[in-house]
Amino acid sequence: MARYEHAGVKGLRRLLDAVLIVGSELSLPVVLRRITETAAELVDAQYAALGVLDRTRTSLSEFITVGVSEDERARIGPPPKGHGILGLLIVEPKPLRLPDLTAHPDSYGFPPGHPPMTSFLGVPILLRDEVFGNLYLTDKRGGDVFTDVDEELVVGLASAAGLAIENARLHENAASMALLEERERIARDLHDDVIQRLFAAGLSLQSTAQIAEQPVVAQRLEQAVSDLDVTIRQVRTAIFQLGRPATAPSLRAELLAVCADSKRPLGFEPHCEVRGPIDSAVPNHAGEHVVLALREALSNVARHARASRADVDVAVDGERLRLEVSDDGVGMDPDAMLTGSGLRNMAQRAQELGGVFSVAPGAGGGTVVVWEIPLGS
């Protein structure tokens, strides 16, 4: 009895140290790793894991492990989803202690390459009244089974872990809000100050060009004005990008990625410009269609045009989204190209969305493809 009480007092001290360690972190990934490591140390477990439940609360979305090497993890394969013994805590979130997990009727056995494990202790982690995930501990060192004291210690750690996880989440949310506010401030400064200064500089250069006596000077000033117009469009694009939540999926980034991916089949990288509030104004279904249209247009340039340059312009102008792809290739017969399945699909997509599609010769040669839809479609 005295030995049991001594073990309990010693374990309580270790638990207090563990709570302080876990609660000192603010990064959620670090917190989860620290909880797993601390649980293993607290009860002398050779292996420990923390399984995070997915949104359905029926499967594991993350699985952090301690005691298993990188080579062993590679041999084991994909992380578990919460079947067998691991699934028992998902179905019924309460502590579970087994002297030999392989003898349990719900045991699935281990995949090839998995180290053998015997004794088991599982405890749920609660955030308020909701299960966040489960702590799994196996193989108490020395060949012993996990005790009542071990279970109480891990339950106590799991309670502290729930608070630490919630604290880390709140910290991340606060940091995200602060970042969003800073992005909005930068966007306002760009719009109210930088763009206005660029406009003023452009007007001044235009006035100077009109009174320039030497044609070469006037030509250079007009080129500078043109460069400023491009810069203003790029700054506006940056403003739209800053106005988006940092974690939101980006149609702009996906369009630019399609352009970058086409470099290999084209033999050169196309010039790609994305203008306007692409990410905020374009519905998801319309965004999927414009990505497919761009990919098909560039694919046709690579297959048929024999071009040395291609220009992509994607713009949101008012209530319409317009994609234009032009090249300096050999040109084509629009009627002949429209018989191809790829361009037929582009035309059909535009028509289904209430838009228009055209293929025509470029003013200076090559081909111009235009795909345009209303954003209310």
Distances (CA, A) of 10 to 3, 110, 140, 337: 11, 34, 17, 81
Q: What DSSP state is assigned to residue 144?
A: P
Q: What pLDDT is stored for residue 11 in this prediction?
A: 57
Nearest in space to 313 (alpha carbons), one of 334, 327, 333: 327
* pLDDT, tens digit (0-9, with 9 covering 90-100), for 60-74: 888 889 998 888 887
Q: Is residue 49 part of a domain?
A: yes
Same-domain pairing of 152 and 10: yes
Domain boundary among 174, 196, 211: 174
Domain final residue pick, 157, 174, 191: 174
Give which of 309, 300, 229, 238 is closest to 267, Cα–Cα: 309
Let me know whether 162 and 266 are in one domain.
no
* Helix 28-42, helix 2-23: angle, nearest 10: 170
Among the candidates 174, 204, 223, a domain finishes at 174
Q: What is the CATH number of the domain that holds 94?
A: 3.30.450.40
Cα torsion 50, 52, 53, 59 to 10°: value is: -60
Q: Do 150 and 283 share a domain, yes or no?
A: no
Residue 314 · residue 290 · CB < 8 Å: yes
Pair (158, 294) in one structural domain: no
Predicted local confidence at residue 191, as pLDDT: 67
Q: What pLDDT digit, counting tens, does each position of 201-245 carry?
A: 777 777 787 887 788 887 887 888 777 777 766 666 666 666 555
Number of domains forming the structure of the chain: 2
When pLDDT is averaged across residues 36-54 and rounded to a whole number, the result is: 89
At 140 the pLDDT is 93
Do 294 and 370 touch, CB atoms closer than 8 A?
Answer: no
Domain ranges, residue 267:
251-374
CB 32 within 8 A of CB 165: yes
Average pLDDT on 111-133 reads 87
Residue-level pLDDT at 256: 87
Per the domain annotation, does 310 fall within a domain? yes
Within a domain: 220: no
For the record, the structure tokens of 52 come out as: 């995070």
Given a cut of 90, whether residue 326 has pLDDT beyond it is yes
Sheet holding 45-53, edge to edge: 60-66, 45-53, 130-140, 120-127, 96-98
Q: What is the pLDDT of residues 71-91, one digit of tens each?
A: 888 788 888 888 888 888 888
Residue 227 lies in a domain: no
The interaxial angle of helices 2-23 and 148-189, nearest 10 deg, is: 10
pLDDT at 334 over 80: no
Going edge to edge, which strands form the sheet with 320-327? 271-275, 310-317, 320-327, 367-374, 356-361
pTM listed for this prediction: 0.47
Q: Give residue-wise pLDDT tens across range 262-320.
A: 888 888 989 988 888 888 788 888 888 898 899 889 988 888 888 999 999 998 887 89
Q: Three-class SS of residue 371?
A: strand
Same domain for 25 and 137, yes or no, is yes
**Residue 246 covered by a domain:** no
Claim to verify: residue 164 and residue 258 sit in the same structural domain: no
Tokens of 327: 């090249």
Same domain, 170 and 255: no
pLDDT of residue 3 exceeding 80, the answer is no
Rounded CA-CA distance 218/224 in Å is: 10
Q: Specify whether 136 is located in the same domain as 268.
A: no
> What is the pLDDT averaged over residues 32-51?
89
- DSSP letters, 303-361, are III--S-EEEEEEEETTEEEEEEEE-SS---HHHHTTSHHHHHHHHHHHHTT-EEEEEE
Task: Tell me if 104 is assigned to some domain.
Answer: yes
What's the confidence (pLDDT) of residue 5? Answer: 42
- What is the DSSP code (8-state) at residue 63? E
For 237, counting Cβ atoms within 10 Å of its Cβ (0-12 exposed, 13-18 middle, 19+ buried), the class is middle
Coil vs helix vs strand at 126? strand
| Pairing assessment for the beta strands 45-53 and 120-127 based on DSSP bridges | unpaired
Query: What average pLDDT does the structure give for the chain?
Result: 80
Q: Which two tokens stand for residue 25?
A: 């972190």
Whether 193 is covered by a domain: the verdict is no
Q: Would you say residue 238 lies in a domain?
A: no
User: Amino acid identity of 327?
Assistant: D
- Residue 236's pLDDT is 65
Helix ranges (DSSP H) in 190-248: 195-211, 215-242
Q: Give the CATH number of the domain where residue 283 resides.
A: 3.30.565.10
Together in a domain, 164 and 294: no
